[in-house]
Amino acid sequence: MYIIPTGSSINNDFDFNNHRYLMVKVDVVCMKKKVTVDSGYIDDFNEKLIVVNGKAFIRDRYLFVSKP
C-alpha cells in the first residue's frame, strides 16, 4: 500500500506522478470522518486538488491511498 504524501510538491513527486500514468486505482479517504468517500482512477491533479472520477478533492483534507 502506498499513501500519496500531502506535504511535498506533487509536481516533483516521482511516485505520485507514476500513479497517474500507471492508472493505479486509489481510495479517497476523508481524514475528518475516517471513511472512504470515493474510489477510482486519478483524472487530473494540481498543487491543491486531485480529481478522481470527475470529482475534485482538496489534497489537505483527504488521503489518497493506492493498492498495488
CATH number at residue 11: 2.30.30
User: How confident is the prediction for the chain on average, in pLDDT?
Assistant: 78
| pLDDT band at residue 68 using 50, 70 and 90 as cut-offs | low
pTM: 0.66
| 19 compared with 34, residue with greater pLDDT | 34
State yes or no: pLDDT of 34 exceeds 60.
Answer: yes
Q: Domain count for the chain, please give it.
A: 1
Phi and psi (nearest 5°) for 11? -70, -25
Per-residue cell: 16: 505520485
- Angle (CA) 15-35-10 rounded to 5° is 20
Half-sphere exposure of 24 (CA within 13 A, CB side): 20
What is d(CA 14, CA 4) in angstroms, rounded to the nearest whole number? 11
Phi and psi (nearest 5°) for 46? -145, -165
Domain that includes residue 18, residue range:
2-66
